[in-house]
A and B are shown apart, each in its own frame.
Chain A
Amino acid sequence: MKLPLDITKIQSFYTYLKSGTWITFPNIVFLLITAFSLIMILSGFVSAMNNSYIGDGVLRFLLLATGILFIIQTVKIRFKHHYTIKLLLPTICFIIILFLFAYFLPLFPPKYDLRPYEITASLLKFLVISIFLILTGLLSLSFNIRSFFGFTSKGKQYSAYIVLIFSILLILYPLIIFIGNITVNGIGGINWEFLTEDVRSHGQQGGIVKALIGTICLIIGVTVISLPLGIGAAVYLTEYAKGGIIVRIIRITVDILQGIPSIVFGLFALAVLVPLFGISLINGILVLSFLTLPIIIRASEEAILAVPGSIREGSYALGASKWQTIKRVVLPPALPGIITGGVLGLGRAAGETAPIMFVACVFLGAPHIPNLFAPIQALPYHLLTLIYYLGAYEVEQNAWATAFLLIAIVLLINAGSILIREKYRVEF
């Protein structure tokens, strides 16, 4: 049995559509049920997101119409293919459920208070019904496809695909909402004043220039420290190490370092670095370098391992020493991969707040020219303080603009790393 809609061949699809041979009774019923199910899912979703209820009449109509269409489809199948009742039993149960829902769901009270059960919330009618609508819509799509394909494993496959596609759409939804909101609300606040002035009156006016400079200083400092360390460690692990206990310990410590929560780095810096340097830029650089080190080690290791052994052996055969081989033969082709990983690590470091909030940052009054041993202002910390001020001062516009700028920087860094990877990729 073939799908009625073969999207891959659009040309033939149009002629198929024009010819009208698809207008058969089962196909029409199939398409109608699909449309009703999609309407159910969509209306459930929209009503959940907008705190609105689609109304008893519409709900009853949707459920009853789908139920009746299912009865028609099932009867048709029963007479055409002579399926046993046992095979049709789930569908029949589903139809009964549809009718029960159509009767009972609108009877749900507008607000079912959970406070007698000591839960400080209520179940609101629109939410309960929209959840039921989404689930019913998915189920009816699945039953529809399965009975259309005559309960074969192919039908099962397509109905599973529906769930998979639904889940990926569900994931994309918050992303679109987040990025959309930040762009719409943030881009209006980005202007010359915002980019070139210091904070004034608790962030209600002025801009973020010092925070921007501070974040750039952090990024530069982290690059200077963690890139050589990370590449060196990766070179040792891939080129020199011959296994053994020390290498295993190094690998496990890299795993641990990768897993340490960022706030624990902050605690460590507070206990060790602040007594040494006070609240200063160098603390931030050091602690963020430790945080990015495992990312860079892993990326560099991968990039170096991708260089095939044969060209190393070629270099040795010409009489080059190990260090010469590493310097001239192994590292150059591995460099794009290393830089990609490094840049990704920097992107993470640029956005981190927790490690630097106690040890390197102030909201106001960082020196004009950044100094290793003086505090800095940084974008993530600036945003954090603005969030704390949200109720007290008029900072919302500036907070959105800061969030937009922060996301823009991090995403530009990430996009840059992908560009480097694509442009200088070496194929062996």
Chain B
Amino acid sequence: MLLNSKIKETIVKYIFFLLAATSIFIVFFIIYFLFNEAFPAFQEYGFSIFESDWSVPREVYKIGAALFGTALVTIGAMIIAIPLGLLSAIFLSEIAPYRVRTFLKPIIELLAGIPSIVYGFLGATLLVTYLVPTFDLLKGISIFAGSLILGIMALPIIISISDDALKAVPRDMKEASLALGATKWETIKKVTFPTAISGISAAVIMGMGRAIGETMAVSLVVGNVMQIPIPPFDIFESGATLTSIIALEMGEATGIQTYSLFACGVILFIIVGTMSVVSNILKERVAKRFKGG
């Protein structure tokens, strides 16, 4: 009987271990098959795959333009989302009265819960038709529209993670500053914000990761033209991102085009996966630091 229950305990333990190890298998499989499918593209083009030259009739598929488009769209989105997100997070965590906070927090979570295809739909209908007369454009579909919609989508992530980071700053630090005669705003500026900076950078990295990896919304408003705009900072022209080009062309892709699209996937995986890991490490470090001190 005793032996029996001991065996059972061990079996249960290993079952749980297997369940936990599933994520290793999944990630391993994803990495293996992604790289496996992308390998022929890297073999064909080598490092010249990062040049900008994508043409279906000539059957040349180099992904530089998508890489550039992703960078441009993400920078635009972050210019919108970082200041607004951080200011709102400070408002929510530090100065909003309790009632306002309990009212606004679920609303911001709601903003995060809207599916990206719905953002894409709103972008393709409302935003694009608004941009045409506002900037005197021929068509509203542009890199700028992609930046705007991604900025709005990255906001709730940046707000809720940096709100957590600001809330995690120990109270006695703030109170020490207040006791020295600093105003609340001076305390936020000189004590709370600098202390929470690693959690806030985790939030920014996470928001950036979301902006880079976001597919449906951006593919519906960015135009999917595999060209670097001329001049490169002309954000009112159509462009393409790594995600949008996969979403649009994977359906009909054959041969080397498929491999190049998988190469886009590999690059996305590497960039966003690294960002996610770094951001989580930062967050854990914050948790440890404040638990200890």
Which A residues lie at the B interface, using CB under 8 A? Answer: 48, 51, 111, 113, 118-124, 127, 153-154, 156-157, 160-161, 163-165, 167-168, 170-172, 174-175, 177-178, 181-182, 228-229, 232-233, 235-237, 239-241, 246, 249-250, 252-268, 270-272, 290, 293-294, 297, 321-323, 347-348, 350-354, 357-358, 380, 383-384, 387, 390, 396, 399, 403, 406-407, 410-411, 414, 418
Contacts and interface: CB of A to CB of B under 8 A. Distances in A.
Interface string B136-157: 1110000000000000100100
Interface residues of B, number: 94
B135 A407 contact: no
B172 to A, nearest CB: 21
B137 A121 contact: yes
Contact of B268 (A48, A170, A263, A297): A263
Interface in B94-128: 95, 104, 106-111, 113-122, 124-126
Interface of B: 5, 8-9, 12-13, 15-17, 19-24, 26-27, 29-30, 33-34, 36-37, 83-84, 87-88, 90-92, 95, 104, 106-111, 113-122, 124-126, 133-138, 152, 155, 159, 182-186, 209, 212-216, 220, 230-231, 234, 236-237, 243, 246-247, 250-251, 261-262, 265, 268-269, 272-277, 279-280
A228 B19 contact: yes
A227 to B, nearest CB: 11
Contact of A250 (B20, B29, B214): B20
Contacts of B19: 228-229, 232-233, 235-236
B209 A182 contact: no
Given A111-B136, A390-B124, A254 B23 contact: yes
Contact of A267 (B209, B262, B274): B262
Contacts of B230: 118
Given A293-B26, A347-B113, A380-B117, A165 B91 contact: yes
Contact of B22 (A163, A229, A350, A406): A229
A271 B34 contact: yes
Nearest to A294: B23
Given A156-B183, A233-B20, A259-B272, A351 B265 contact: no
A411 B16 CA distance: 33
Contact of B16 (A111, A236, A252, A380): A236
